[in-house]
């Protein structure tokens, strides 16, 4: 039991660092951790993940207010308006859409967004103004889809929201990361509430993950503030590819 709690705490720290540094919610780590370490099924793991993600995102946001990256509250409000309400239907989606289909869809979306993100990181310097390349209406429509599927594949939050903020609303990477955390925070509240209402109640294993995520998030924001834009953008692209590859492997049972 002590070994299990220690592993969960370490995973919480790792995901907190990722949350603060690149603006992801954390499902890509929390969901597998709760499935393989705690022995939960995917629905229980997704529900618990939303609870932990809330604390990781909140910790990152609080640290961001004293850091170099500012939140674009207008962009956060726009995406939250699309993502948060639609996230409430995710429990129903679980009953009609196979998990493998959801994972493959997310993998394809991430790979489709990875190249434009990498190209923007190479074609401009840190001081070049960002320009939107997607119509805001398309961004909001994509937000509805992200909200509806968030948590189902373990990677439906910041890993997709950040590219949408960069390509669709023209935010720079660090601002997109900070803004993504606000959207993830609101989404996690709605997602957790939906699962609790549907009967989820296993919270005893969460404290190690929560503590680790909170501490890791503060460190992640510090790393983000000290890392130049271009290397961070290329690193985020690689992270997207890794997540997409893992989702595809999980969905197809290749390994």
Please tell me what DSSP assigns to residue 154: S
Q: Please name the residues in contact with 206: beta carbons below 8 A apart, sequence gap of 6 or more.
A: 48, 51, 52
pTM for this entry: 0.76
User: What's the pLDDT tens digit per position in 3-39?
Assistant: 777 877 887 888 788 778 877 766 666 677 677 766 7
CB 83 within 8 A of CB 183: yes
Q: How many domains does the chain have?
A: 1
For residue 176, what pLDDT is reported? Answer: 87
List alpha helices for 23-72, DSSP H.
Answer: 27-36, 42-64
CB 176 within 8 A of CB 9: no
Residues spanned by the domain of 240: 2-252
Q: Which residues of the chain have pLDDT under 70?
A: 1, 25-30, 33, 37-38, 42, 65-69, 87-95, 99, 119-134, 148-157, 195, 198, 200-205, 254-255
How far apart, in whole angstroms, are the C-alpha atoms of residue 120 and residue 68?
Answer: 21
CB 247 within 8 A of CB 154: yes
Per the rule left: phi > 0, alpha: psi between -120 and 50, beta: everything else, 26 is left
Alpha carbons within 13 angstroms on the beta-carbon side of residue 191 total: 36
């Amino acid at each position: 039991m002590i070994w299990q709690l220690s592993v969960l705490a370490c995973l919480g720290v790792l995901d907190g660092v990722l949350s603060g540094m690149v603006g992801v919610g954390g499902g890509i780590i929390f969901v597998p951790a709760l499935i393989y370490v705690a022995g939960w099924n995917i629905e229980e793991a997704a529900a618990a993940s939303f609870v932990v993600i809330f604390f990781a995102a909140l910790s990152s946001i609080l640290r961001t207010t004293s850091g170099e990256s500012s939140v674009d509250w207008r962009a956060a409000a726009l995406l939250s308006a699309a993502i948060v309400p639609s996230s409430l239907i995710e429990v129903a989606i679980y009953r009609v859409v196979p998990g493998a289909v959801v994972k493959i869809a997310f993998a394809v979306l991430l790979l489709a967004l990875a190249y434009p993100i990498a190209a923007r990181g190479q074609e401009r310097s840190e001081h070049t103004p960002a320009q939107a390349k997607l119509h805001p209406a398309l961004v909001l429509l994509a937000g509805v889809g992200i909200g509806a599927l968030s948590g189902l594949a373990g990677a439906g939050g910041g890993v997709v929201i950040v590219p949408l903020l960069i390509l669709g609303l023209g935010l720079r990477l660090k601002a997109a990361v900070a803004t993504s955390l606000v959207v993830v925070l609101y989404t996690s509240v709605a997602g957790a509430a939906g699962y609790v209402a549907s009967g989820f109640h296993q919270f005893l294993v969460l404290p190690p993950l929560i503590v680790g995520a909170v501490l890791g998030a503060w460190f992640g924001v510090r790393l983000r503030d000290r890392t130049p834009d271009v290397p961070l953008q290329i690193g985020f692209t690689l992270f997207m590819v890794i997540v997409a590859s893992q989702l595809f492997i999980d969905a197809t049972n290749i390994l």
